[in-house]
Structure 1
C-alpha cells in the first residue's frame, strides 16, 4: 500500500494550450432603482463552457459594485486543475458604449473566483430604462488538468452499488470490497483477512491525502493516472 501511495505523487500534469476559446456570461439587472445598493446581491445562472462550470455574481455596497466570476470543472479531475484566462468585465454593454475592466487571471482549486470593483457613480451612467447590463467576456489562454475528467466519484451517489466505506480525513469513499480485494493485496487482506477493520461499517485510512487516495482508487478501477508502471 505504501509503495502504491508513493507513486500517486507522480501524477502527470498534462497541460493543454487552447486557442480562440471565448464565451460570454450576461445578466441584465432590472428595477435598478429598487436594488439595495448597500447590501444587494445577485447570483447569476450557471453555464457550462469547455468542460467547466461558470457563473457570475453581482454584489453591492454603498459606493461600489463587486463583479465576480466563478469557475470549477464540471466533473472531478485526476490532477490539479487550472485555467488561465483574460477576463473582460463590462457594464452597459447593451448601449453603444460601456465601461470595461480587464484582468488576466488563473482559476484553480484554491482560487476559483476573479473579481473587479466598479464605482456606482460610474455604473449609473449606463442605466437604460431602469436596467443595467453586466457582461463578462472570457478568453481562455491555457487549461491544465482537464485531459481526463473523472466519471466515478466514490461518493454517496454510488452507495447502492457499494458495500464498504473508506474514510480519509473525514472524506468518505464508497467502494466494492470484492472488486478492490481482487485488484490489491492490501485490500484483500483488509477486507477478507482477520483484521478487525473487516467488520467495521466505516474503515479509516491514514497516511494519505484524500485527493491522492481518489487517484489511487481510479488507478485500481482502470484509469491510468501515473507516469510509469503502477
Structure 2
C-alpha cells in the first residue's frame, strides 16, 4: 500500500452530486463523489455516496470519522461464496485542486467483510487543506483482477459503463443494454427497421424488447460483436434470438459451431438444423460426422 501527497493542476470540472464513471478498460471503473457537510461529522459518524452497479456488483464510497482521523472505505453487496480481488487508487482533492492525497494498493472483498478500508488522513489536515466550504471530493479507481463465485463471465459489457459509446438503450425486463444503433442495424434488418424506419421507436433513446431473456440477449450481442460466446449451452438460445431478429451473422456462427465443435447428439443437431433452416448443416449431416 502506497500513500503520498502530490501537487497537480486540475483542468477538469467535477460533478458535485453524483458518482461518475471516468474510464473503463476491461474491468476498470472510477467512482467519484463530492461529500457535503463533512465538517459537521462527529466521532464514529459516516457519509456514503449513492450506489453504482458495475459488473453485476453494487459499489459505493463511505467516509468515516474516528476520533480525529478521516477514514475512507469501499463497499459492495457480495453474496455468499463471492469474492473480488482488485487493485485500486484513491484520491482526495484539496480545495484548490492543486494537491491530491493519493493512495494505491491491492485488496480483497468478501461477503464476510463487505467494506474495504483503504485510506486515512488527519482530520485537522483534512479541514485545513481539503475541505471546501464543507465539501470533500473523493475519487476511487478500481481495477478488478479476479471475480470468484459469480455466474458465467460476460465477454463484453453492454452496461451503463458503455453509455458514452452508445446512442440507444435496449431494456429487457429490469436490465438495460447500451448499444450503437448503427452497428446493430448493420447486422439485423429487424433493428434497421426499428431504428431507421418510420416508427415511434426510432425517435426513442430507450426501447423495451419483449419475449426475450436478458442473459440470452447478452450472449447474442457478444456473438455479433465478435466474441466467442457460443457453446453447447448457449447455441440454441442464440439461434432463437438471431432468428427472431433476422441476424445472418449470428446464425452463421452458430451453424459453424454445430458443424465443427458441438458435442451435442446428432438428433439434437438435426432438430436445430431443421428448425432454423441451416443449409450448410444439412449438407454436413448427410455425411458421417
Structure 1 length-normalised TM: 0.48
Q: From the CA coordinates, give the structure whose radius of gyration is larger.
A: 2
- Structure with the larger RCO, 1 or 2 (CA within 8 Å, 6+ apart): 1
Give the structure with the larger strand fraction. Answer: 1
